[in-house]
Amino acid sequence: MTEYPSDIIGESTVNGIRNVRIRVPEFFSVRQIFDCGQCFRFDPAGDPDDWSYVRGVAFGRSVCFRQQVPGEMIIEGSGIDEYETVWKRFLSLDTDYDAIRKDIRSRFPKKSVMDEAMEFGSGIRILRQDPFETLISFIISQNNNIPRIKKIVNSLCMRAGKPIGEDRFSFPGPEEILSLGTEGLRELKTGFRAGYIFDAAEKIASGTLDLGEVGSAESTRRASEMLCTIKGVGPKVAACTLLFGFGRLDAFPVDVWIKRSFERHFGGSLDIESLGESAGLAQQYLFYYERYNREGDK
């Protein structure tokens, strides 16, 4: 009998596709992770309303995540080796969310809206996405809605990425984006963002901005300043990039949903600095609660 690591139940091959079944912690939900606005390349694999089974592309790989049994998940298109080297980190399954949740709770009064938000979005985890893809995706997200962002990102990948299987494409690198030119980017319906996307690709391709140095910056504030040297990148896009692409959990993006949360629950403002290293996850709980909790609108 094969002995697996404690988080792995087993591996199989179905119709020539490798699958790995793993145990997932209590605070883990495929549905919430992929429907909380942090990534744009995953969608339901079957029923368009069922986010417990999603298909998409990350790190140049096509993959499906299926969670239909409590405490378990199947990764379709992956074996144990790829789970250990790619998906475990991507899904933040190597991070102690129990400790992070306790830290967040300790920073708010008891029975506050944060308790409700953490319960409502208890399965959210911050994905660790490719930094360049995250940067370009959130530049595209400016003054945009999620369906349109996804459409533009998909068009960009089809035009400049590399084929993965029959109908999937990798996210293009800086040089591939530069090859399109600003006019080619505008043809993808990027609008005013075309120049921003081109500038980001140009700065990174030339070495003017080193994403490795951004990732190793001494503080999130300094990392944000570095990203803001790109045309069109302000504090919100920088914070999203740092949170979802660099794993900077103290980055706190402020968008319209967060502003509504501040107005509704915190008298118009919140001391973000007081949230410490857990600020980014706290932001996701508030964002998800404000966006999806219809009870709060009654």
Catalytic residues: 236
| List of long-range contacts for 70-73, beta carbons under 8 Å, 24+ apart | 71/23, 71/24, 71/26, 72/9, 72/21, 72/22, 72/23, 72/24, 73/21, 73/22, 73/24, 73/28, 73/30
Q: Residue 266 burial by CB count (10 A; 0-12/13-18/19+): exposed, middle or buried?
A: middle
Nearest to 62 by CA among 31, 17, 29: 17
| 4 beta partners | none
- Judge contact between 137 and 96, C-beta under 8 A: no
Q: How far apart are CA 193 and CA 185, in angstroms?
A: 9
Other beta carbons less than 10 A from residue 1's beta carbon: 3
